[in-house]
Amino acid sequence: MGVLEGIRLAWRSMSRHRLRAFFMMVGVMVGISSLTILYSVGESTKQETIKRFKRMVGTFDTVIVRPGAGRMRGMISLTTAEPTLKFEDAQAIASEVAEIKQVAQVQNAFDIDVQYRDRAATPAVVGVSANWLDLRGDEVTEGAFFTNDDMQSLARVAVIGMDVQKALFPDENPLDKTLRIGDVPFQVKAVLASRGAGPGGGSLDNVILIPVTTASKRLFNRDYLTMTVAQLKDPEDSETAIRKITALMRERHRIAPSALDDFTITSPRASMAQVTQVGSTLSKTLMGVAIIAMIIGGVVIMSLMLIAVSERRKEIGVRRSVGASRRDILLQFVLEALVVSSLGGLIGIGVGLGGTRIVIQLQNLPHIVAWDALGLAVGLSVVIGLVFGLYPAWKATNVDPVAALRV
């Protein structure tokens, strides 16, 4: 008997016993659809997490220096930061660490009222260097970012985020308008492109950027920084750069060899690696659950096929009596298991793709088709048919045709 003839016989048997064939397919369908949904949603979640993380930190080719030696909790601002990180420290990092391309200086505060006419808001007010956009990869949709000349002249200019524009300028163009940060007037020079929500869910658009020199001298009246962002010439040199920055900062701050640092250095690249590792572990766990469901489906196939072998002893006896060999019987039952598991797998893939689309739309995740998961699903459905169909097929070959015809 050829393979095509075996498939025809398998299809005829499934047509005669539709309910049994359906239950044989259900286990594989559940496993394949679960695998498709969980893997695809896991990949979408990981990509969205990376996207949001990058929105928050800008680029991964940076090293961030903060005051406080890791003792600070939450978002550091001028009201909570220890005054240990100076402007001169940032300048020294830029000039003395060969692995650093450029350095941005940052002062920020979160408790300052901002007003325009009768409207008010309380966004994050951040003083930054003129190279902030270049370093972080952000963009402006209107106007132009402030320049080094604005930094030197202590210009009172501001670049606002989308949320600030909606709160203070809902019905008018904000460019060249004057708002008050605290009691200090600032002219709106540009509007930042939207960055959406950060990893914690908070908006990254509720922000106002001003020149860090203006912030230090005319608004905050503070001579220390809340953060220094150093961009690397080569992202692979992050460990070397961190080691050199640590040595430089300890020397500048006259920290004894046995004393703890009074600063903290972090790398978004390392943090992103941890986030990605957690996401990968979760994806693997979910895939394991789906594969277990598929194995259970395979056990169901084997159990129902064993029952079918008992019920079809007379059919097997008739086929043997008219010349079918043990190999023909083996091939017939293996092909039945393969057809059932393959159909279940194809239906499961269709259900999985539909379920993935629904989950992604509900969670506002990027649509990602995990082709490697689909390939794995197809392969597993075939393997399950073979593995769990072999034993019932072997049992069928051992049926005594004479005894079967006497039944």
pLDDT in tens, 53-78: 665 555 667 888 999 875 555 567 67
- Inform me whether the pLDDT recorded for 280 exceeds 70: no
At 289 the pLDDT is 73
Beta strand residue intervals within 161-250, DSSP E = 178-181, 184-192, 207-211, 227-232
Mean pLDDT of the residues in the chain: 81
Mean pLDDT value across residues 214-226:
92
Which residues are registered as beta bridge partners of 100? 232
Q: How confident is the model at residue 102 (pLDDT cuts 50, 70, 90)?
A: very high
- Residue, of 59 and 285, whose pLDDT is higher: 285
Q: How confident is the model at residue 138 (pLDDT cuts 50, 70, 90)?
A: confident
- Inform me whether the pLDDT recorded for 50 exceeds 80: no
Mean pLDDT value across residues 123-142:
90
Q: Which of 18-32, 123-137, 260-274, 341-355 is the most confident on average?
A: 123-137
In angstroms, the Cα distances linking 241 to 64, 234, 237, 271, 323 are 11, 10, 6, 16, 79
- Residue, of 295 and 233, whose pLDDT is higher: 233
Which residues are registered as beta bridge partners of 93? none
- The model's pTM is 0.60
- Residue, of 166 and 288, whose pLDDT is higher: 166
At 282 the pLDDT is 64
User: What is the torsion angle, in degrees rounded to the nearest 10, for the CA atoms of residue 294, residue 299, residue 304 and residue 309?
Assistant: 130
Q: At what angle do helices 87-96 and 238-252 cross, to 10 degrees?
A: 130
CA distance 243 to 379: 48
End-to-end CA distance of the chain: 26
